[in-house]
Every structure is written in C-alpha cells, then in structure tokens.
Structure 1
Amino acid sequence: MQYEGVLRKMQTEPGDPIQYFMLFENDFLNVNQILDKTLQIDFIKYQCLNCGQDRPIYRQGFCKTCFYETPAAGDWIMKPELSTAHLDQEDRDLEYEKKAQLQPHIVYLANSSNIKVGVTRKSQVPTRWIDQGAHEAIEIVEVPNRYLAGITEVALKDHIADKTNWRKMLTNDVEDEDLVEWRNKLRTYIPEEAQEYFIASNSETNLNFPVLQYPKKVKSLNLDKTPSYKGVLKGIKGQYFIFEDNTVFNVRGSEGYYVSLTIA
C-alpha cells in the first residue's frame, strides 16, 4: 500500500486504545491497522499549509512568510494571555480571532511525563490531551474566552510545569498522580477573574495509546537530514510514530512536508 500527500496533525478518536487517522487529499489511513508492519517514509517536497507553495517550512507547517502573516499563527495561539478579541482589538484578522478566541476554553492538568497545566478550546477535549501523549488529564477551569484561560495558565505556571518532557513521554517513564488532589491544591492560585469558573467536582480522564513496544532511548527522525526512512511501526503516542529501532517521528512537527508512505 502507498499513500502520498502533505503531512498534517493526525486525527484521533477516543477508544481503548485511541484510534489514529492520517488524512490526505483523496485518501485516509487508519494508522492503528499498520502496527507491526514496515513503514517507509520518503520526503518529496514542502507544501506550506497556508499558501500551498514548495517553500521550506519555518514553523507550525507554514513557510516563513505565511508564519508571520496568517492569523492562524498569531502570538496568542502559543500565548493565550495575549488574546485581545474580547476587547474588540485585532492582531491580524479580527473576524478569525473572534471566532477562535470568543468560545469556551478549558484550563487543564495533564500527565504525560509530569503534571503540566495547559489551555485548549472546550471543543478540543480530549483531543488536546491525546496530542500531548497524556495518560491522564482533568479539567480545572472552564471560561468563556481564551484570554481568561491564558491568564489562569500564567498564574498556575508559577506552581506547576507548563511543558512536557517528550522523551520521558515516549519511553513511558511516567507515574500516576492524583489529579483531583492537584486540582484542589491549585485552586487558590487561580486569578480572581476566573475563580467563578473553577470546576469543583469532576474526575480525571484516562487514555490508552496503541503502543506494542516503547523505545528504551529515543532517536528523533528529521526529514531534512534523513529524507528516506524505513522501520517497523511499534506504536503511536501523542503525535509520534514509534519504531522498533527506537526511532520516533513527530508527525505534527513535520506538518507541511509532502511525503510518500509505503506500507509493506
């Protein structure tokens, strides 16, 4: 079997285990079905997710020009506290920003390699947790816009991590934590503007990833340095492929790369 197209973040469906799908222009692949099979990845060209041109990818699947111009890459995406649509102030495209920012957002705790705090649109739960490779997660605040979620995250970052150690996540070097206890412990640090949105009674969500074998020590595949790679696929966690030889490939980190996938 062979598939060809531009890489985008894998789509997921909650399940036991989670189901992963790669969507191409005229086809799709259920990645779970190729576990334990040999997969060859060949890099063909770049294809910016915004302009579609064959230009080197700069960040987030965009060429450098588009990264600094498209509203889909505004600073408020990585730093929600910079959101201004609730003030009717434009960053790059107010209509786009209102649609994205003025909707319910969740501040959550997720345990991928350690407990971290994060922000996502309510509609992206549990997708965001799956993408981060979290084996357990819990919502702690639900607010009406991205700005309130952002300032809550900033306040909590003084007391808990906001980054995932992706190497620990991929080697499954993780411990279970009592996220309800953590949620209650952090409540006092939530900003006054967001206190009324605290979620006082819910339970954590547990997630099971389709992994047959975890790597002992990860080797990251970079298509710019290694444009052709072949290996036996042993698992999918977060947005990563895990191969038998300890190679891992970040699909989301390679968005905008046009590739050929050959399955044997």
Structure 2
Amino acid sequence: MQYQGVLTKMQTEIGTPIQYYLVFESDFIHMNQLLNKTLHIKFIGYQCLACGKNKKIYRQGYCYDDFYNQPQVGDWVMRPELSTAHLGVEDRDLDYEKRAQLQPHIVYLANSSNVKVGVTRKSQVPTRWIDQGAHEAIEIVETPNRYLAGITEVALKAHVADKTNWRKMLKNEIEDADLITYRDRLQEFIPDEVKEYYISSNKETTLDFPVFQYPGKLKSLNLEKTPEYTGVLKGIKGQYLIFEDDTVFNIRNNEGYKVTFAMS
C-alpha cells in the first residue's frame, strides 16, 4: 500500500499508548498500525504550507519568503514575551495575532529528558507535551494571554531549563523528578502580575508512547541527503519515527516536504 502527500506534524490522540496519525490532503495513516512493519519513505519535492509552491523549504514548512511574512511564524511564536496583541500592536496580522495571543495560555513543566519550562495555548494541552516527547508534565500558571505566559517563562527559565535534549528523549534517558516539588519551588519566581494565576492543586499528567525499541546510536534521516529510506518502524515518540537500525525521522522538521509512504 502506498500513500503520497505533504508532511505536516502528526496528529495525536491521548491514550495508552498515544495514538498517532499522519494526515495528507485526501487520506491519513494511523501510524500505530505500522509498528513492526517495513516502511519505505521517498522524497519527491517541496510544497510550501503557505503558498503551495514547489519552493525549497526554509523553516517550519515555509519557503523563505513566507517564513518572513506569515503571521503564524512571527517571532512571538517562539518568544511569547514578544507578544503585543494585548496592546493592540500589530506584528504581521493583528486579527490573527489577537485570535492566537488573546486566549488562555499555560506555563508548564515537562519532563522528556530533563525538566523544562514551556508555554502553550490551553487548547494545546496535552498535545504540546506529546509533541515534545514528555513522559510527564504539570501546569504552573494559566494566564489570559500569551504575553503574561511569556514573561513568566522568561522569569522561570533562569531557574530551570527551557530546552529538551532530543537525543536523551529518544533514547529514553529520563531524569527522575518530582514535578509537584519543582512547581512549588518555582512559585516565588513568578512575576508579580502573574501570581494570581498560579495553579496549586493540579496533579502530574503522565504520557505513554508507543515504542517497542529505543535507539542506541542515533542516526537522523535527512531527506535531502537520503531521498529514499527503508526501515522497520519500532516506535513513535514526540514527532519522531524510530526505526530498528537506530535511524530517527523528525516529521515536524520535515513539514512541507512532499513524500510517498509505502509499507509492507
């Protein structure tokens, strides 16, 4: 059986284990059903997620021009503290930015390789944690907009990491941590204007990933250098496919790449 389409991040469904779906324009693949099966991936071109043209992907699924003009990849996305919609100030498209920024946001702790602090829209819980490959996570504050969440993250990352070690995450080299204790210890560092949004009564969320075999020495699949690859799928964690030969393929990093998927 063969499928063809443009890669976008896998859709997920909470469960034991988490369910993964690769969605194309006219079809989708339930990736969990492909575990322990041979998968053939072939790179056939680009398709920018904005303009739809066969232009080399620059970052996050967009060609160079669209990366620098589309509102969904403005600087405030990666750096929430730069959000300005609450002031009525436009970055690229104020209507879009109001919809995205002026909604409840969560500052959280997630443990995927080590404990890190992050920000996400409330509507993206627990999707964001799944995408990061976190086996456990806990909310710290719920703010009414992205800016307040952003300045909280900036304040807290002086005391806890804000990056995931993706290699350790994929190898399942996990730091043993009590997230409730972490959260309570960080409370004093929350900015004064955000203290009223602190969440003190919630519990940890635990996540179970469909992995039969964790890799040893990682080999990242780069479709431009290796346009065709065949391997046995042994696991899915975060947005990575993990293969029997220790090859790992980051679907999220290959958004906008047009591929064929064949399985046997």
TM range (shorter): over 0.9
What residue number does 1:35 align with? 35
Q: Distance in 2 between matches of 1:171 and 1:194?
A: 36
Q: Distance in 1 between matches of 2:109 and 2:72?
A: 25
Question: Gapped runs of 5+ residues in structure 1?
Answer: none
Q: Please tell me whether residue 55 in structure 1 is matched to residue 55 in structure 2.
A: yes
Q: Distance in 2 between matches of 1:137 and 1:52?
A: 36
Bigger Cα displacement from structure 2, 174-183 vs 159-168: 174-183
Stretches (4+) displaced over 4 A: none
Q: Please tell me whether residue 233 in structure 1 is matched to residue 256 in structure 2.
A: no
Give 2:142's aligned amino acid. Answer: E
- Number of aligned pairs? 264
Report if aligned partners of 2:103, 2:121 keep a CA contact under 8 Å in 1. yes
What residue number does 1:164 align with? 164
The 5 A counterparts of 1:43-122 are: 43-122=43-122
What residue number does 2:186 align with? 186
Task: Give the drift of 1:217.
Answer: 1.5
Give 1:153's aligned amino acid. Answer: E
What residue number does 1:202 align with? 202
Give 2:221's aligned amino acid. Answer: L
Q: Distance in 2 between matches of 1:135 and 1:31?
A: 19
**Corresponding residue SS for 1:44:** strand
Q: Distance in 2 between matches of 1:118 and 1:185?
A: 16
Task: Give the drift of 1:176.
Answer: 2.8
Task: Give the drift of 1:170.
Answer: 0.2
Q: Distance in 2 between matches of 1:80 and 1:227?
A: 35
Per-residue CA deviations over 1:221-242 (Å, capped at 9, x if unaligned) read 0101111000000000000000
TM-score, length-normalised on structure 2?
1.00
What residue number does 1:128 align with? 128
What residue number does 2:247 align with? 247
Report if aligned partners of 2:115, 2:175 keep a CA contact under 8 Å in 1. no
Percent sequence identity is: 71
Question: Gapped runs of 5+ residues in structure 2?
Answer: none
Report if aligned partners of 2:50, 2:66 keep a CA contact under 8 Å in 1. yes
Q: Distance in 2 between matches of 1:141 and 1:176?
A: 23
